[in-house]
């Protein structure tokens, strides 16, 4: 056998050996992980086999997603891929990208991966792990896929969106849709009619960061959120109270009100929105100095997982959070995926279990869930329900000094009747708090209708 033949045989042996080794590692590696730390999203879980799924092909499609999400050493491979991505292109003084992406989950995904030892007794730890796994399974989202220089597809607003990356900041681009904006307002009108005149109803639409960009060249990529919010408010019934968070934020737009790597506002941005709500609800604003200020560093948010550059990765956000000056406890309710039974665990309005994780925005309430009930030691009869996306998570701690009970409802996951919940608990105020892009998502709007 010639040296050339020996070398060819060696290449074949090495190649086949690698295939078998990787296959062995994939078979033997535990598949219990439910969340990707690098991508900041829930992973696909092993599908349940049914003959119907098999015949339709759905079973193998789901299994392919499951296999891809649990490939051996996937986290390190994804991190290497992200690092390579940051090297492409020519470095310029001003880095600008326009990115089209899929898999947007309105207001963020449910993620309860970290333990709650700080707020949950040890004997309830097992129940908590079950709760986290079940809510994550409910809210698993598609992999984010990015392609540069595409045009937004407005007809599929539930799954597609555009991002502007400007140096170290990633911003969502908003496109106004008149029909959907009117539909959003009409849904709130419908809830208003069913609640009765004794319940006050507020609407707070939070603008996103690009609205306050000083660079007009790029700001014009997005439609006017001021005009959009004004249009939504103009379609409300007279007995709905619109909250002007926009003006309160605009006055402080040069402050650190939005994360650079995430689509949420910071706690400071949420605080200024709270001051606008306090004015609408006849509440005395609690000065920010009355809160204990703490900080978690090195936060790379959801949008940095969608698209990253070296500049972004080298300039992470800091998550500043404010501990309310009142005592409170949070009970979180969720549904067992198999039985549908409602279960609960004890959470925290400010959950420090997330300060050393990649998901630092979950410091606020511990993330999203179907229903949370916050009870405080405030001497008042006022109760409020917040129907919300995840923008409300950083806002709600500022309500605790004003209400004895706060009901937090995420219509994407809650399954019961909203009107009954209000009536049975004598709730006198209801606030819809969502960010402006939510008005473009029929799925979110329909989820509210399903609850009334």
Nearest-angstrom CA–CA distance, 33 and 78: 15
Q: Average of pLDDT values for 324-343?
A: 90
Q: Which tokens is 331 given?
A: 């009970």
Q: What percent of the chain has pLDDT over 70?
A: 78
Query: What average pLDDT is seen over the chain?
Result: 81
| pLDDT on residue 83 | 57
- Determine how many CB atoms are found less than 10 A away from the CB of residue 188: 23
Q: Please tell me the predicted confidence (pLDDT) of residue 150.
A: 33
Mean pLDDT confidence for 40-48: 67
**pLDDT of 116-168, one tens digit each?**
333 333 334 344 444 544 444 444 333 333 333 333 333 322 234 688 898 89
Within 8 A by CB and 6+ apart from 94, the residues are 166, 167
Provide the 10 A C-beta neighbour count for residue 213.
18
> How many Cβ atoms are within 10 Å of 2's Cβ, its own excluded?
7
**C-alpha to C-alpha distances, 217 to 92, 164, 220, 222, 227, nearest whole angstrom:** 17, 12, 6, 11, 19
For residues 213 and 210, give the distance between their C-alpha atoms in angstroms, rounded to a whole number. 5
pLDDT digits (tens, 9 = 90+) for 258-277: 999 999 999 999 999 999 99
Q: What is the mean pLDDT of residues 362-385?
A: 95
State pTM to two decimals. Answer: 0.72
Asked if 293 and 332 touch (Cβ cutoff 8 Å), the reply is no
CB crowding 370-399: b at 16 or more within 10 Å, else e = bbbbbbbebeeebbbbbbbbbbbbbbbbbb
The pLDDT confidence band at residue 98, using thresholds 50, 70 and 90, is confident
Residue 117 CA to its chain's centroid (Å): 23
Tokens matching residue 415: 């399954």
The pLDDT value recorded for residue 123 is: 36
Q: Does 41 score more than 80 pLDDT?
A: no
């Amino acid at each position: 056998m010639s040296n050339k033949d020996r070398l060819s045989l060696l290449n074949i042996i090495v190649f086949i050996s690698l295939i078998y080794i990787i296959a062995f590692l994939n078979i033997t590696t535990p598949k219990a992980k439910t969340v990707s730390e690098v991508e900041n999203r829930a992973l696909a879980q092993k599908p349940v086999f049914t003959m119907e799924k098999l015949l339709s092909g759905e079973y193998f499609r789901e299994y392919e997603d499951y296999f891809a999400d649990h490939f051996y050493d996937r986290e390190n491979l994804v991190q290497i891929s992200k690092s390579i991505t940051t090297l492409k292109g020519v470095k310029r003084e001003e880095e600008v990208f326009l990115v089209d992406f899929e898999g947007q989950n309105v207001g963020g995904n449910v993620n309860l991966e970290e333990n709650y030892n700080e707020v949950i007794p040890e004997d309830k730890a097992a129940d908590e792990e079950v709760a986290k796994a079940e809510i994550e399974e409910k809210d698993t989202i598609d992999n984010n896929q990015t392609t540069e220089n595409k045009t937004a597809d407005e007809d599929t607003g539930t799954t597609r969106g555009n991002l502007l990356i400007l140096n170290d900041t990633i911003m969502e681009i908003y496109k106004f849709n008149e029909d959907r904006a009117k539909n959003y307002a009409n849904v709130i009108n419908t809830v208003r009619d069913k609640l009765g005149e004794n319940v006050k109803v507020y609407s707070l639409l939070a603008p996103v960061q690009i609205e306050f960009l000083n660079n007009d060249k790029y700001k014009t990529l997005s439609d006017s959120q001021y005009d959009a919010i004004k249009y939504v408010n103009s379609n409300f019934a007279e007995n709905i109270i619109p909250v002007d968070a926009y003006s309160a934020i605009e006055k402080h737009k040069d402050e650190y009100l939005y994360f650079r790597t995430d689509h949420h506002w910071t706690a400071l941005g949420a605080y200024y929105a709270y001051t606008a709500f306090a004015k609408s609800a006849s509440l005395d604003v609690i000065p920010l100095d009355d809160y204990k200020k703490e900080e978690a560093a090195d936060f790379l948010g959801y949008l940095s997982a969608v698209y990253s550059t070296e500049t972004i990765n080298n300039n992470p956000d800091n998550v500043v959070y404010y501990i309310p000056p009142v005592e409170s406890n949070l009970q979180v309710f969720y549904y067992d995926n198999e039985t549908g039974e409602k279960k609960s665990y004890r959470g925290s309005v400010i959950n420090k279990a997330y300060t050393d994780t990649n998901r630092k925005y979950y410091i606020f309430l511990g993330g999203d869930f179907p229903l949370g009930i916050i009870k405080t030691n405030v001497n008042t009869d006022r109760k409020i329900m917040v129907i919300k996306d995840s923008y409300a998570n950083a806002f709600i701690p500022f309500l605790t000094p004003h209400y004895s009970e706060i009901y937090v409802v995420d219509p994407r996951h809650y399954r019961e009747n909203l009107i009954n919940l209000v009536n049975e608990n004598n709730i006198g105020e209801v606030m819809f708090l969502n960010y402006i892009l939510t008005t473009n998502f029929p799925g979110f709007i329909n989820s509210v209708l399903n609850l009334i």
